[in-house]
Structure 1
Amino acid sequence: MVSRGTDERTLSVHNEHEFLLKMEKAELTSSLAQRVVDSKGNDLAKKVVRLIENGGFEPSTSQKRAREIMGRNMFGVEEAIRHFGVNPGRRELALLAEVPWSEEVITVHKDTHILIAVFSLSVLDVRGIAKKLADPEILFYNQDWYDKQAFAEDRGEIGWQLVRKTPIANSTNKSWNEQQALLKDEETPTARIVVQTVVGHFLATGERLFEKIWVRCSDLDSGGDRVCLGGFDAQGLSVGSYWDGTRCVDFGLSASRKS
């Protein structure tokens, strides 16, 4: 890999000029600019770039603490802005300002769950976003059976979710009712929540969840069969539906922590 030389430029002269004009209109003074120039390790400039990447979003104290605990297993507002292209308004940011679980609960789940800021995006919305990404990996398997399904069009509500990275233990080869009996302080999330988690986490970290297994979600398709997701290999995430009585060694149960 060839590293970028220190003299190599990434901005055109026009870009630089327009950027400086915008910054001056935002009351950037000579003394403030010098503070950026003098900052140790170019720290202030890096913070400005991160702020721009995050659409101007600054995380709350609750979100910062959650990130310290969860590390790469957190897909927060910043990641949703960067990877899903969302543009949250004041109401959405207010709803996400506080992570609803205690630090103790988050710590217990830091290795087994993804803490995700779920936005009002449907399965079809996320698939549409994925198609626009200049990424060599295929994110969704080529299917159209669910294009007109209500579960795939549902945008749901905004909020935090703690979604399990693997199926509930011992949930494979069981019917839906048998799987539900295994839940304690968790519940089965909708397909849109699981899709945002699986696709978002992959875009942010490169880790594929449910690569060789499928998980049931809470939704039903128009025929009354249970929606399931999985097989998230290089051919993309697959979406299917099966009778609740089906027992299969490849079918587990998705789960998210109750708030």
Structure 2
Amino acid sequence: MERTTIEQAKLLFGSNFIGSDELKPLFERMGFLFSSIQMPEIQYSLDDLKKYSKDYILILGISELEGTKLSIANFRECFGMNSAISEPCFYNQDWYMNEEFIHDSLQLRWYLLRKNVIESSRAVQPTELLKEHINFPTAILCVYTFFAYYYAKKEILWHHDFIWCNDTDHNGDRIYVGKYHDVDGVNKNGFSIHRHLALRKCYAAIKQI
């Protein structure tokens, strides 16, 4: 397979290309002295990149900087949870702080992530979507891409949409993230991390007479 160059990828993806140069504003905001890394080859074929260049973001994933894992836990510590202080930030919630997935980080490689939701997937149970061979991204890839894209392009991804993730909590409930802004104006702005509660025997009814 012919190797795809950074220049070819930039030309194909335009504003949806996030490489090392585009990541610098994010890492500077996080307090890292980001200079250079050993750039991995783009593992996707040129044909695949052409196929996905209109609807996907091509982003360079980095696992850690200066010995610090680029995990959800560290993103949360950096960006906080109060939109009155600074934005973008996380939505104020702490249920996931003891969950393992918030300590995951990306591999040093390139990722293709769809920029907008698949319209036909709206209001469809994740179990049904998985049957259609839709590959859900990890929560850390969504968090990383959300903040990287904002600091590179000044655009909020998934402004009103939740994204199903590959991760589950300790009970096996699926994680979903996103929906930065509440259209009803009830909740404050913030990148949300939630879990989709599955029905179990502990859910039951009582009668009122």
TM-score strictly above 0.5: yes
CA distance in 2, matches of 1:112, 1:237: 22
Q: How does 1:3-22 map to 2 (within 5 A)?
A: none
Which of residues 117, 128, 140 in structure 1 aligns to 2:77?
128
Q: How does 1:248-259 map to 2 (within 5 A)?
A: none
| SS at structure 2 position matched to 1:170 | helix
Would you say 1:153 and 2:103 are equivalent positions?
Answer: yes
| SS at structure 1 position matched to 2:107 | coil
Which of residues 149, 152, 155 in structure 2 aligns to 1:207?
155
Whether the 8 Å contact between 2:162 and 2:178 is mirrored in structure 1 is yes
Greater Cα radius of gyration, structure 1 or 2: 1
Tell me: CA distance 1:156–1:83, structure 2 relative to 1, closer, same or farther (3 Å): closer
Whether the 8 Å contact between 1:84 and 1:129 is mirrored in structure 2 is no
Which of residues 186, 189, 205 in structure 2 aligns to 1:235?
189
Task: Output one character per residue of 1:176-215: Cα deviation in whole Å (capped at 9) or x when no partner.
Answer: 22011223xx621110011111121112112222111111
How far 1:73 moved relative to its partner? 0.4
Tell me: CA distance 1:211–1:108, structure 2 relative to 1, closer, same or farther (3 Å): same
CA distance in 2, matches of 1:224, 1:61: 38
Gaps in structure 1 of 5+ consecutive residues:
1-59, 246-259
| SS at structure 1 position matched to 2:167 | strand
Would you say 1:106 and 2:49 are equivalent positions?
Answer: yes
Whether the 8 Å contact between 2:165 and 2:176 is mirrored in structure 1 is yes
| SS at structure 2 position matched to 1:239 | strand
How far 1:145 moved relative to its partner? 1.6
| SS at structure 2 position matched to 1:218 | strand
Would you say 1:84 and 2:27 are equivalent positions?
Answer: yes
Q: Percent identity?
A: 28
Whether the 8 Å contact between 1:171 and 1:182 is mirrored in structure 2 is no
| SS at structure 1 position matched to 2:145 | helix
TM-score, length of structure 2 as denominator length: 0.75
| SS at structure 2 position matched to 1:228 | strand
RMSD: 2.5
How many matched pairs?
Answer: 178
How far 1:66 moved relative to its partner? 0.7
More helix as a share of residues = 1
Whether the 8 Å contact between 1:66 and 1:106 is mirrored in structure 2 is yes
Task: Output one character per residue of 1:135-179: Cα deviation in whole Å (capped at 9) or x when no partner.
Answer: 942321122222221001112422110000122341122222201
Q: Which residue of 1 aligns with 2:11?
A: 68
Gaps in structure 2 of 5+ consecutive residues:
64-69, 182-187, 200-209
